[in-house]
Amino acid sequence: MKLSDLKTVDQLIEERREKDAEFREIWDSTAFARQVAIIVVRYRTERGLSQRELARLTGLQQPAIARLENGETEPRLQTLAKLTAATGLSFHLDVVRGGVELVPA
């Protein structure tokens, strides 16, 4: 087997998403949490902050930051607001057709 034959993680996910209805439902419903995760991780790592430091800045706790960055939980609006208060981050959300989408920039 050639290395180029290996499937990417995204390909594997997409394949299962198409085959498994239950998986698709769960995956899609947590899309927003994963998008938030990416933003938080990027912000923190670009500034060389630890989770504990970001927690102190935002008034959150280190385990809460970890859960957000792992996309484990759907954050509350209040939590997103805390993130933006001390960081300069901002989140633009479109709630439409039963879903929550994060609008880039």
Q: Which is nearer to a copy of itself, 41 or 100 (CB)?
A: 100
Residue 94 phi, psi dihedral angles, 5° rounding: -115, 115
- Using CB under 7 A, list all residues that contact DNA: 44, 49-53, 59-64, 66-70, 72-76, 78-79, 82
Which residues between 17 and 76 bind a copy of itself (CB under 8 A)?
A: 32, 74, 76
CB atoms within 10 A of CB 69: 18
Q: Which is nearer to DNA, 59 or 99 (CB)?
A: 59
Q: Which residues bind a copy of itself (CB under 8 A)?
A: 32, 74, 76-78, 80-86, 90-100
